[in-house]
Amino acid sequence: MATKMDERLEFVYQEILKRNPGEAEFHQAVREVLESIGPVLTKYPEFRERKIIQRICEPERQIIFRVPWLDDRGEVQINRGFRVQFNSALGPYKGGLRFHPSVYLGIVKFLGFEQIFKNALTGLPIGGGKGGSDFDPKGKSDNEVMRFCQSFMTELWRYIGEYTDVPAGDIGVGGREIGYMFGQFKRLTSKYEAGVLTGKGLDWGGSLVRTEATGYGATFFVAEMLKARSDSFGGKTCTVSGSGNVAIYTVEKIHQLGGKVVACSDSDGVIHDDKGIDLELLKQLKERERRRISDYVGYRKHATYVAGGNIWAVPCQVAMPSATQNEINGKDAATLVKNGCIAVGEGANMPTTPEGIKVFLDAGIAYGPGKAANAGGVATSALEMQQNATRDSWTFEFTEQKLASIMRTIHQNCWETAEEFGSKGNYVVGANAAGFIKVAKAMVAHGLI
Ligand code: NDP
Ligand code: 2IT
């Protein structure tokens, strides 16, 4: 990444640091975008005149609330809930909810900020937002998760809606949590407003392919990057970090496209399976039984588990980080490149540190940043909203084709935009510039709001 920033942008960045103290992840996400858009401001001086950058970096609205709930022992628990409604230039705020003990305002703001540009890249009418809580779902009973979700929605319901803000899942929030939140929203509003949440169950307004969409989409994006280099997944050894929703469906699509995933992980350790990850076993352990990845080796005797291991030390040709932010540092990136990695596709949001990104770009490998590579999840959420609006439900094949076509278009848009601004092959510049221009033009059109 070009670590030098346009001088005037550096000044804007320093102001943002001062206005948002202690939010390291938000600063990181802003810096990455500002480093990409110097040439955009030269082409569109009106963006500077209208102070689009200062406005885009300031959320339209931030909601922070108390979430009290009773655990199974009858003890009172208190968590903090967040919803940051970042930008509505292109449509209702759209973005997931994350339940993880590390969640604080800086995480929600980095995710919401990235979401603005990601959602713009999908080409669909959705603005950017994000939310969540420092609630830790690990070790909680089903009833505890339900009581938490009901309490969370008892506060959130008044700020969301089909035309205002449409939350979905992220880390720690999947179909079960969306179900409990939808139930409580319906109860509080006396309305069956299906389009208020996405990632719903298939029997009550959900879309086929939404569960698979982020992992499938990220894999389609990497397939496009490989194609641009006259290459493909066929016969490639791959690693996929994490073992949650995004990781599982990344493994599934890589295997369908002829690659072999040999390692995945969770926050405790790494499994390595030379014969290729057994997808059905992974789904059984993680989706149906909610167990840890370490249990995998109890069923596949030739596989190994390393507690506290580093998945990026496992040699691969394609790496798909699908767990969390900053999981690949500069050293990990150097190890990947040294071991022959030729493509990185980010299923997770901001999984690579700025030092890591620089290593990938300097090495000239195909590097697909999260806001482009993982946009298939939110894009399919927007397809779910379309189906809800027309009370329709599309087939798996039809929806998957739409997803594949959206990912192809995003790839092409990033490629062409990078070239236009003098950074051929740099998908970071391509994604940031293309997403930013679309949102900025809409903001100019809407006047000073
Ligand atoms: P899940 O909760 O289903 O899975 C998360 C996985 O990542 C788990 O294996 C988890 O391990 C691991 N993980 C989470 N936090 C950490 C951490 N701090 N350190 C190490 N490992 C961690 O979430 P998703 O699969 O939905 O999300 C994964 C990533 O993809 C996130 O970055 C998310 O923002 C991004 N994303 C998700 C989309 C979606 O549609 N769901 C769309 C676009 C991006 P453990 O169980 O040990 O915590
Ligand atoms: O980071 C993301 O794009 C998501 N967690 C999905 C958001 C959505 O609204 O589907």
Q: CATH class for domain 213-373? A: alpha beta
At 5, the pLDDT band (50, 70, 90 cuts) reads confident
pLDDT category at 4 given cuts 50, 70, 90 is confident
Q: Which among 55, 74, 78, 385 is positioned nearest to 206, based on CA atoms? A: 385
Cα-to-centroid distance, 283 and ligand 1 (Å): 15
Residue nearest atom 3 of ligand 2, based on CA coordinates = 378
CA dist., res. 278 & res. 275, Å (int) = 8
Task: Return the HEC string of the chain.
Answer: CCCCCCHHHHHHHHHHHHHCCCCHHHHHHHHHHHHHCHHHHHHCHHHHHCCHHHHHCCCCEEEEEEEEEECCCCCEEEEEEEEEEEECCCCCEEEEEEECCCCCHHHHHHHHHHHHHHHHHCCCCCCEEEEEECCCCCCCCHHHHHHHHHHHHHHHHHHCECCCEEEECECCECHHHHHHHHHHHHHHHCCCCHHHCCCCCHHHCCCCCHHHHHHHHHHHHHHHHHHHCCCCCCCCEEEECCCCHHHHHHHHHHHHCCCEEEEEECCCEEEECCCCCCHHHHHHHHHHCCCCHHHHHHCCCCCEEEECCCHHHCCCCEEECCCCCCCECHHHHHHHHHCCCCEEECCCCCCECHHHHHHHHHHCCEEECHHHHCHHHHHHHHHHHHHHHHCCCCCHHHHHHHHHHHHHHHHHHHHHHHHHCCCCCCHHHHHHHHHHHHHHHHHHHCCCC
Is the pLDDT at 226 greater than 90, yes or no? yes
- % pLDDT > 70, the chain: 99
Catalytic residue list: 130
Report CA(72)–ligand 2 centroid distance (Å): 30
Question: Would you place residue 6 in the very low, low, confident or very high pLDDT band (cuts 50, 70, 90)?
Answer: confident
**Confidence tier at 2 by pLDDT (50, 70, 90):** very low
d(CA 97, CA 249): 19
Judge if pTM exceeds 0.95.
yes
Instruction: Calculate mean pLDDT across residues 25-54.
Output: 97
pLDDT of 352 reads 98
CA of 379 to the centre of ligand 1 (A): 18
The pLDDT of residue 437: 98
Phi, then psi, of 329 in degrees rounded to 5: -100, -175
pLDDT per residue as tens digits for the range 120-150: 999 999 999 999 999 999 999 999 999 999 9
Q: Determine the average pLDDT of the residues in 280-308.
A: 97
pLDDT (tens digit per residue) in 65-89 = 999 999 999 999 999 999 999 999 9
Query: CB 186: neighbour CB atoms within 10 A?
Result: 17
State residue 165's pLDDT score. Answer: 98
Q: For residue 171, report the distance from its CA to the centre of ligand 1, in Å.
A: 4
What pLDDT does 7 receive?
Answer: 86
Asked if residues 248 and 286 have their Cβ atoms less than 8 Å apart, the reply is: yes
The structural domains of the chain, with segments of one domain joined by +, span: 7-55, 61-192, 213-373
Which two tokens mark 137? Answer: 């779902």
pLDDT tens digits for range 402-435: 999 999 999 999 999 999 999 999 999 999 999 9
Encode pLDDT of 370-413 as tens digits: 999 999 999 999 999 999 999 999 999 999 999 999 999 999 99
Measured CA to CA, the distance from residue 350 to residue 352 in angstroms comes to 6
Whether pLDDT at 111 is above 80: yes
pLDDT tens digits, 300-315: 999 999 999 999 999 9
Given the CA of residue 98, which atom of ligand 2 is nearest to it?
A: 5
| Mean pLDDT score of the chain | 97
Give, for ligand 2, the residue of 83, 90, 111, 170 to mutate: max count of ligand atoms closer than 8 Å to Cβ.
170
Residues with Cβ within 6 A of ligand 2?
Answer: 94-96, 115, 118, 168, 170, 198, 349, 377-378, 381
The CATH class of the 61-192 domain is alpha beta
* CA nearest ligand 1 atom 41, residue: 170
Specify the pLDDT at position 91.
98
* pLDDT of amino acid 1: 46
Q: Which ligand is nearest to the CA of 373?
A: 1
Identify which ligand lies nearest to the alpha carbon of 346: 1
C-alpha span between 230 and 227 (Å, rounded): 5
Nearest in space to 248 (alpha carbons), one of 264, 225, 260, 267:
264
Ligand 1 neighbours, Cβ below 6 Å, are: 100, 102, 169-172, 214, 242-247, 266-268, 322-324, 347-349, 374, 377
- Mean pLDDT, residues 279-293: 97
Q: What is the pLDDT of residue 62?
A: 98
Q: How many CA atoms lie within 13 A of 232 on its CB side?
A: 7
